[in-house]
């Protein structure tokens, strides 16, 4: 019996070990799967955007470069650098961003805010020293610390300040606190502030120089490309919608078509990204075809109109996989002008995308926009003509009519985009290969609309209400 019991105990122990071993094996396996997954997505990331790899190498290079100051300090005989050298390293790490604009913005913010913060802290330290009393001095310093930090933290929430100077305000609070706190103890406030500013300037310089002179990524260029690709996506949808969906209702969608039809969705939520890029771009110096004061605000305006158009397309998209019981007769009747409107608008947007990319005035856009307007006009006439619809089931026509009226809306959106593009092209001095004729739409005479989405494009809207 004893043997059996011992055996049982052994078996139980064995089972325990086995379980633990299995659990451990599973854990390792799960971990490995996660690692492999991440490695795959990391590899994919680098393939999709090789600039990320370059950026990583640049950051590594900049930090190694700034660390040389520290390594060979005795050789450089840089007086008083000592511990403060870490500020240079720290500055490079926090200032170096993906785009030049972001890096420059942070560098300028950091440099100026450090100077201001240190100055104010120095001033207050002097003020507190006047009291002469060992008891009052720390109380005064503490009071000022609390007051200024609270007030500046409050100001951080002002939208105007937040958009461009948020990092600067943070660094101001940081420097001010550090200098005024250590000032009480060390009695060498000015000296410390001075070294801090010098080292931070060195860090900023290195970060900015490396960022600009080694394969720079410009936020302005990114914004420019983004707006262009948004046009492209909306254009692709309209082209596919026109040629494919409105032609045959059989849903034989290829992969390319699906991606063309889904592309516009990223435009719906593009607002924040565009605003961030525009804010960065404003810091950038002249580069390539972009001046220092390139009209980035216009990009936001035109981006807003494109987004508005995407909202309409989203409503249109509801009717894409719409299995109709509508007779072929109605389909044929309303199909041609709808198809024309959709494809012509698609052409307009694709040409806008190309013109944007090459920064030229588009060649044939007036033709396409005129065609789109004429097609919209035809569509409208068709809808107006009672005789066309005699004997036809009213309810059969409704969804088609909805598609038609959404398409007419999209024509007016396209016209707005062309007008906004014209303004942008004028102020950004795009190359004139062909004059862009002034565009005016008369498609929506049967209703006066107000589309109050983009407050900045009101002037555009007035022209469009038309007739």
Identify which of residues 60 and 285 has a Cβ nearer to a copy of itself in the complex.
Answer: 60
Identify which of residues 2 and 272 has a Cβ nearer to a copy of itself in the complex.
Answer: 272
Which of 119, 243, 378, 405 touches a copy of itself (CB under 8 A)? 405
What is each CA distance from 172 to 156, 180, 250, 305, in whole angstroms? 11, 12, 63, 38
Helix (H, G, I), strand (E, B) or coil at 217: coil
Interface positions, 52-71, toward a copy of itself (CB under 8 A):
52-53, 55-57, 59-61, 63-64, 67-68, 70-71
Residue with tokens 């931070």: 200
Question: For the chain, what is the largest distance between any 2 Cα atoms, rounded to a whole number of angstroms?
Answer: 106
d(CA 308, CA 268): 8
Which of 19, 26, 188, 324 touches a copy of itself (CB under 8 A)? 324
Identify which of residues 364 and 393 has a Cβ nearer to a copy of itself in the complex.
Answer: 393
Which of 75, 134, 185, 462 touches a copy of itself (CB under 8 A)? 185
Interface positions, 109-138, toward a copy of itself (CB under 8 A):
138
Interface positions, 199-258, toward a copy of itself (CB under 8 A):
none
Q: Cα 121–177–174 angle (5° rounding)?
A: 110
Given its phi and psi angles, is residue 248 left (phi above 0), alpha (psi -120 to 50 degrees) or beta? beta
Identify which of residues 170 and 359 has a Cβ nearer to a copy of itself in the complex.
Answer: 170
d(CA 199, CA 201): 5
What is each CA distance from 96 to 42, 61, 242, 285, in whole angstroms? 21, 11, 46, 17
Residue range at the interface with a copy of itself (CB under 8 A); choices 15-23, 45-53, 202-210, 213-221: 45-53
Note whether 75 binds a copy of itself by CB under 8 A: no
Helix (H, G, I), strand (E, B) or coil at 445: coil
Note whether 31 binds a copy of itself by CB under 8 A: no
Dihedrals φ, ψ of 240, to 5°?
-65, -40
Identify which of residues 137 and 370 has a Cβ nearer to a copy of itself in the complex.
Answer: 137
Note whether 466 binds a copy of itself by CB under 8 A: no
Identify which of residues 196 and 340 has a Cβ nearer to a copy of itself in the complex.
Answer: 196
Judged by CB under 8 A, how many residues of this single chain contact a copy of itself? 99
d(CA 456, CA 304): 9
Identify which of residues 23 and 157 has a Cβ nearer to a copy of itself in the complex.
Answer: 157
B/e letters for 331-366, b = 16+ CB within 10 Å, e = fewer, are: bebbbebbbbbbbbbbbbbbbbbbbbeebebbeebb
Helix (H, G, I), strand (E, B) or coil at 431: strand
Q: How far is the CB of 284 from a copy of itself (least distance, A)?
A: 21
Residue with tokens 């078509």: 257
Identify which of residues 156 and 291 has a Cβ nearer to a copy of itself in the complex.
Answer: 156
Interface positions, 363-382, toward a copy of itself (CB under 8 A):
380
Q: Counting beta carbons within 10 angstroms of the beta carbon of residue 416, is it exposed (0 to 12), middle (13 to 18) or buried (19 or more)?
A: buried
Residue range at the interface with a copy of itself (CB under 8 A); choices 4-12, 219-227, 280-288, 313-321: 313-321
Note whether 401 binds a copy of itself by CB under 8 A: yes
CA within 13 Å, CB half, 68: 9
CA within 13 Å, CB half, 102: 17
Which of 2, 135, 252, 394 touches a copy of itself (CB under 8 A)? 394
Note whether 149 binds a copy of itself by CB under 8 A: yes
Interface positions, 331-360, toward a copy of itself (CB under 8 A):
none
Which of 8, 26, 30, 153 touches a copy of itself (CB under 8 A)? 153
Note whether 93 binds a copy of itself by CB under 8 A: yes
Identify which of residues 111 and 355 has a Cβ nearer to a copy of itself in the complex.
Answer: 111
Q: How far is the CB of 318 from a copy of itself (least distance, A)?
A: 6
Note whether 272 binds a copy of itself by CB under 8 A: yes
Helix (H, G, I), strand (E, B) or coil at 295: coil
Q: State the binding string over 438-457 for a copy of itself (x if CB under 8 A, else -).
A: --------xxxxxxxx----
Note whether 27 binds a copy of itself by CB under 8 A: no
309: Cα separation from own chain's centroid: 18
Residue range at the interface with a copy of itself (CB under 8 A); choices 139-147, 213-221, 363-371, 428-436: 139-147
Residues facing residue 431 across a β-bridge: 360
Residue 156, C-beta contacts closer than 8 angstroms, at least 6 positions apart: 162, 166, 169, 170
Note whether 190 binds a copy of itself by CB under 8 A: no
What is each CA distance from 196 to 109, 151, 253, 386, in whole angstroms? 15, 24, 62, 80
């Amino acid at each position: 019996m004893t043997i059996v019991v011992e055996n049982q105990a052994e078996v139980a122990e064995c089972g325990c070990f086995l379980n633990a071993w299995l659990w451990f094996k599973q854990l390792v396996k799960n971990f490995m799967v996660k690692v492999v997954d991440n490695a795959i997505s990391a590899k994919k990331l680098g393939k999709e955007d090789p600039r990320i790899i370059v950026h990583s190498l640049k950051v590594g290079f900049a930090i190694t470069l700034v660390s040389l100051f520290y390594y060979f300090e005795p050789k450089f005989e840089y007086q008083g650098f000592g511990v403060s050298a870490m500020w240079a390293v720290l500055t490079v790490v926090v200032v170096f961003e993906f785009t030049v604009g972001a890096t420059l913005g942070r560098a300028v913010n950091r440099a100026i805010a450090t100077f201001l913060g240190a100055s104010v802290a120095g001033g207050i330290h002097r003020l507190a020293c006047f009291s002469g009393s060992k008891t009052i001095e720390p109380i005064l310093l503490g009071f000022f610390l609390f007051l200024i930090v609270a007030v500046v933290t409050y100001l951080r929430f002002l939208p105007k300040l937040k958009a461009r100077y948020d990092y600067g305000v943070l660094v101001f609070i940081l420097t001010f606190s550090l200098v005024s706190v250590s000032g009480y103890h060390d009695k060498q406030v000015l000296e410390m502030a001075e070294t801090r500013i010098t080292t931070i300037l060195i860090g900023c310089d290195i970060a900015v120089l490396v960022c600009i002179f080694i394969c720079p990524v410009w936020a302005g260029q990114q914004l420019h490309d983004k707006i262009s690709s948004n046009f492209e996506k909306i254009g692709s949808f309209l082209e596919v919608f026109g040629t494919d969906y409105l032609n045959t209702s059989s849903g034989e969608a290829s992969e390319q078509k699906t991606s063309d039809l889904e592309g516009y969705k990223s435009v719906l939520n593009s607002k924040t990204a565009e605003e961030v890029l525009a804010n960065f771009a404003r810091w950038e110096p002249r580069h390539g075809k972009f001046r220092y004061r390139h009209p980035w605000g216009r990009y936001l305006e035109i981006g807003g109109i494109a987004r508005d158009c995407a909202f309409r397309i989203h409503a249109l998209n509801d009717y894409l996989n719409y299995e109709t019981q509508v007779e072929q007769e109605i389909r044929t009747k309303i199909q041609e002008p709808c198809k024309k409107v959709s494809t012509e608008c698609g052409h307009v947007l694709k040409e806008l995308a190309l013109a944007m990319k090459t920064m030229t005035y588009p060649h044939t856009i007036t033709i396409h926009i005129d065609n789109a307007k004429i097609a919209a006009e035809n569509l409208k006439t068709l809808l107006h003509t009672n005789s066309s619809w005699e004997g036809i089931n009213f309810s059969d026509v409704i969804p088609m009519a909805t598609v038609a009226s959404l398409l007419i809306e999209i024509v007016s959106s396209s016209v707005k985009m062309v007008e906004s593009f014209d303004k942008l092209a004028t102020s950004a001095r795009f190359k004139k290969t062909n004059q862009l004729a002034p565009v005016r739409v008369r498609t929506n005479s049967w209703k006066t609309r107000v589309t109050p989405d983009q407050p900045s494009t009101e002037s555009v809207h007035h022209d469009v209400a038309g007739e």
